[in-house]
Amino acid sequence: MKPNNLDTFKTLFLVKGILTLAFSLFFIFYAGMGLFFSTIIEASDKLNDAPFNLGIIFVIIGVIGIIICVTLGVLTLIASKYIKHRKNYTFIFVISIINCLTGILGILLGVFSLIELTKPEIKELFNKA
């Protein structure tokens, strides 16, 4: 049996998932900042002639960012678990592709995990599980 790097990728997927979940804190701050601006604009009598409340844009972007980051973080953590148990090859493959869209760390993790996953001996490991 040839040596493989699946244990290393399990750890890297775990780290990437935790970092993605931690990045969602930025969007929580962003949405909170939007709520703060929204209440200031509503409380101020001078700015009531604005066509809409600009703080709402911050809140919407923040909530969308939180949803995307938490979803991607949880899916990456699940992929790490599946790598550990050597099951759900297709799920891990898809999450690797999605991680390629998430910045330089995701690109590196996604490309190298895709290279590892396409090896015939790795496919056999997942078929036996």
The answer to the question of residue 46 being in a domain is yes
The answer to the question of residue 67 being in a domain is yes
The answer to the question of residue 115 being in a domain is yes
Summarize pLDDT for 6-50 with one digit per residue, the tens: 999 999 999 999 999 999 999 999 999 999 988 887 777 565 666
More confident: 63 or 1:
63
Summarize pLDDT for 74-90 with one digit per residue, the tens: 999 999 999 999 999 99
- Is the pLDDT at 113 greater than 70? The verdict is yes
The answer to the question of residue 103 being in a domain is yes
- Is the pLDDT at 68 greater than 70? The verdict is yes
Report the pLDDT value the prediction gives residue 128, as an integer from 0 to 100: 66
- pTM (2 d.p.): 0.87
Q: What is the DSSP string of 1-37?
A: -----HHHHHHHHHHHHHHHHHHHHHHHHHHHHHHHH
The answer to the question of residue 45 being in a domain is yes
Domain that holds residue 96: 6-128
Q: What percent of the chain has pLDDT over 90?
A: 68
Mean pLDDT of 61-82: 96
Surface-to-core class of residue 38, CB atoms within 10 Å of its CB (0-12 exposed, 13-18 middle, 19+ buried) = middle
The answer to the question of residue 1 being in a domain is no
The answer to the question of residue 51 being in a domain is yes
The answer to the question of residue 14 being in a domain is yes
Domain count, the chain: 1
